[in-house]
Structure 1
Amino acid sequence: MTTNYLTIMMKHFEHMNIDVAAAAETVLNTSTVKERGEVYDCNRFLFIKDGTGILYMQDKEIPLVKGMLCVLLSGVSHRIAVEQDEEITLLWCHFRSSYEDRDLYKTLKMPSNILLVDEQGTVALFERLFEQLAQDNLTSRLRIKATMLELISNYLDSLPTGAQEGAPTEDLQKIDMVLHYIDEHLADNITVENLAKQVYLHPNYFIVFFKGILGYSPIQYVNQRRMETAKGLLLKPECNISTVASRVGMQIYYFSRMFKAHTGLTPSRYRKQATTFASASQTSGGEGKKN
């Protein structure tokens, strides 16, 4: 999976709403599994806590093993089979998510199942989800969403390179080209017209197209990438503030003003604090080794 596809996925999850309808731990055996496929009007996470089985989904037979996370989209028929005298323990949740009426998961063609790197951490996240769903206080919904985003992060952290199922869609190819263009021309004057030309779209349509996938207008995204790049450059001693401003295509006064609006700190203050923190971390690490 390319960096730009991950960027699209991250931006999508940052902005989408997540509504968890239910979650629980279930033990299945030959007497409790269903013979026919089930279809849900919500998305499902299935995590294999223990045991083995087979997931039948569309035309696929997916062997289920301990540590596997399955992502089942709404409307997809599926069923689980278990061998005689065997059982499988599932941690699951049912959720709905939306953003701009686009299903980015389908667009990105992400794998429907993957072995997670952090198996124990995932179990802990599901247990936290169960706990929060059983409560009804002011912060429960926020904590539920935070837990779901951690589950999704575990999924993304476990994805190998080239993990898409099939070739990327035409829309994704267009966005990929635009994001590459932006990263290669941060020092230049980037306009909506420039970006729209890269994918042969009218500027007005391109703005809607871009925001529908990334969640930002094109210029908002360009400025965000400039600030992210600037933060990295400010950590390099050889780059003074004037050089950093030039590398991200901005006049120094405008750059300083935007950087402070983005981080709450001036570029010089940000560099000083980051350097101080790095020095303190190295000193702490060094003392730890001596001990």
Structure 2
Amino acid sequence: MNTNYLTIMMKHFEHMNIEVAAAAETVLEAASLRERDDVYDCNRFLFVKEGAGKIIVENKEVQLVPGQLVIVLAGMSHRLSLKDGEQVTLQWCHFRSNYEDRDLYRTLQIPFHIQVKEAEAVSVLFVRLFEELSKDGLTSRLRNKAIMLELISIYLDNLSILDNHAPSDDLKKVNVVLKYIDEHLSDNITVESLAKQVYLHPNYFIVFFKGILGNSPIQYVNQRRMEVAKGLLLNPDCNVSAVAGQVGMQIYYFSRMFKAHTGLTPSRYRKQAALFTASAEGEQTGKEEG
């Protein structure tokens, strides 16, 4: 999978708030299905636990088999279809989020169905979701969100981008910008310089970028600098001043931002990482000797 493609998806889901509206397990037969398409104002996860059939999503027909996970986004017309004698057991949930998921779906061309490798694990997650919804406890919403993020993670882990899916124009533009950022972290990166890479007006570029990544361009640049800095600080030969220079920041500003980002000063982070590495290596040596 393209690294920038994955970056866009991960940034989107990291900032997405999720509310589960309903979830259940349903056994369907041909006689129980309506012939017309359905359109929901929420997103739907459908997991095929047992049986077979087919689903038509915006005129695209897919055969349903056990272990298949389908995501139908809000506003997408779809219907289930079964032949006489067919039966399918679906575990499903309806959820809402705070992003324009369908626009992102079109931009990234995310397949709306996958075949998961961990079918039993997915089924167990749905069962946990059913249980938490029935409890309606103080922490149930947090647990539901954790379960949904796990389901989304499994979806992404099993996702593959087909070779014949050419990236959209918007995705091409974002790829250019993300590549430019990584190649110029040590430089003074401005909104104007980023917008110039894709021939957009800076004001429009900010809206365009945030709509896909979930952060403003400069927020993303600073987050990327902190991510790179954490890796550089693990190298004992690279002092804090050198790390600051490599991510294009003055040392005093870098130290302040790094602490705000991690809760630790760069020096403290390096010491903690060194202690953890030494401890892990000691445990590994002990296991090998044992």
Q: Shared fold by TM > 0.5?
A: yes
Structure 2 counterpart of 1:94, one-letter code: H
> CA–CA distance in 2 between the matches of 1:102 and 1:43?
9
8 A contact 2:44–2:71 mirrored in 1? yes
> CA–CA distance in 2 between the matches of 1:220 and 1:164?
32
Which 10-residue stretch deviates more, 30-39 or 200-209? 30-39
- 1:158-206: CA deviations, max 9, x gaps? 112x348833332222222111100110011111111111111222222
Structure 1 counterpart of 2:22, one-letter code: A
Which 10-residue stretch deviates more, 31-40 or 110-119? 31-40
Aligned residue number for residue 9 of structure 1: 9
Q: How many residues align?
A: 290
8 A contact 1:39–1:78 mirrored in 2? yes
Aligned residue number for residue 213 of structure 2: 214
Structure 1 counterpart of 2:39, one-letter code: V
What percent identity do the matched residue pairs reach? 65
> CA–CA distance in 1 between the matches of 2:242 and 2:163?
38
8 A contact 2:73–2:102 mirrored in 1? no
Which 10-residue stretch deviates more, 181-190 or 200-209? 200-209
Measured at CA, do residues 102 and 218 of structure 1 come closer, stay the same or move farther in structure 2, by a change above 3 Å? farther
Aligned residue number for residue 92 of structure 2: 92
Q: Superposed, which structure 2 residues align to 1:131-280 within 5 Å? A: 131-160=131-160, 162-163=161-162, 166-280=165-279
Structure 1 counterpart of 2:270, one-letter code: R
8 A contact 1:111–1:165 mirrored in 2? no
Structure 2 counterpart of 1:14, one-letter code: E
> CA–CA distance in 2 between the matches of 1:236 and 1:135?
48
8 A contact 2:108–2:167 mirrored in 1? yes
Structure 2 counterpart of 1:68, one-letter code: Q
Which 10-residue stretch deviates more, 266-275 or 77-86? 77-86
Unpaired runs of at least 5, structure 1: none
- 1:269-289: CA deviations, max 9, x gaps? 111111211221222233334
> CA–CA distance in 1 between the matches of 2:86 and 2:204?
55
Structure 1 counterpart of 2:173, one-letter code: K
Q: Superposed, which structure 2 residues align to 1:42-57 within 5 Å? A: 42-57=42-57
> CA–CA distance in 1 between the matches of 2:60 and 2:219?
41
Question: If the length of structure 1 is used for normalisation, what is the TM-score?
Answer: 0.91
Question: If the length of structure 2 is used for normalisation, what is the TM-score?
Answer: 0.91
Measured at CA, do residues 234 and 117 of structure 1 come closer, stay the same or move farther in structure 2, by a change above 3 Å? farther
CA RMSD of aligned residues (A): 2.1
> CA–CA distance in 1 between the matches of 2:123 and 2:284?
31
